[in-house]
Structures are given as structure tokens and as C-alpha cells.
């Protein structure tokens, strides 16, 4: 299974803490990294996101060519103003 590293911005804005995606909350600022350590970008060049929903488990779907079930998902706001 593909495991991305997730980090939430600390309340003081001066650092990051490792968290599980399912432990984020609406309004949290976070970033993610692929297994190889490459930052997730969406859209290209944007690496920090705001959680626009609480995390939820999605239905079965294809992810990178493989059928997966119960993938944790979160709606985001990509904000180039960070």
C-alpha cells in the first residue's frame, strides 16, 4: 500500500509535526510527502494545504493502477499565499 508522510503545521506556525492523515481536522494546515520523500504538489508548485473537511475513508477505487479500499481522504484548499 502507498503510504504518504503527513505533517501538520504547529499552532505557532514555526514548525511541523508528523501525524496520520486521519488525525487532521478541518482548518489544519498540512503537507504530504511521497514514499520517496518528494513533496506532494497540487497544483504544481503548491505543497501546503488547508483541510477543508474532516478526514474520511473513501470507497474502493483505483489508485496508481491498483484497486484499493478504505483509503483515507480529505478535501483540501490549495493556497498559493502561504
DSSP of the chain: ----EEEEE-TTSS-EEEE-GGG--TT-EEEEE-TTSPBP-SSTT---EEE-S--EEPPSEEETTEEE-S-EE--EEE-TT-
Residue 33 pLDDT:
97
Residue 50 pLDDT:
95
Residue 53 pLDDT:
95
Q: How much is the pTM?
A: 0.82
Residue 61 pLDDT:
64
Question: What is the span of the domain harbouring residue 68?
Answer: 5-78
Q: How many domains does the chain have?
A: 1
Residue 6 binned pLDDT confidence (cut-offs 50, 70, 90): very high
Percent of the chain past pLDDT 70, that is, above it, reads 82
Amino acid at each position: 500500500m502507498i503510504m504518504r508522510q503527513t505533517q501538520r503545521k504547529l499552532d505557532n506556525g514555526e514548525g511541523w509535526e508528523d501525524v496520520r492523515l486521519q488525525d487532521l481536522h478541518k482548518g489544519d494546515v498540512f503537507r504530504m510527502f511521497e514514499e520517496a520523500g518528494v513533496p506532494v504538489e497540487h497544483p504544481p508548485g503548491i505543497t501546503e494545504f488547508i483541510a477543508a473537511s474532516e478526514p474520511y475513508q473513501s470507497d474502493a477505487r483505483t489508485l496508481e493502477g491498483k484497486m484499493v479500499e478504505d483509503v483515507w481522504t480529505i478535501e483540501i484548499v490549495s493556497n498559493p499565499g502561504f
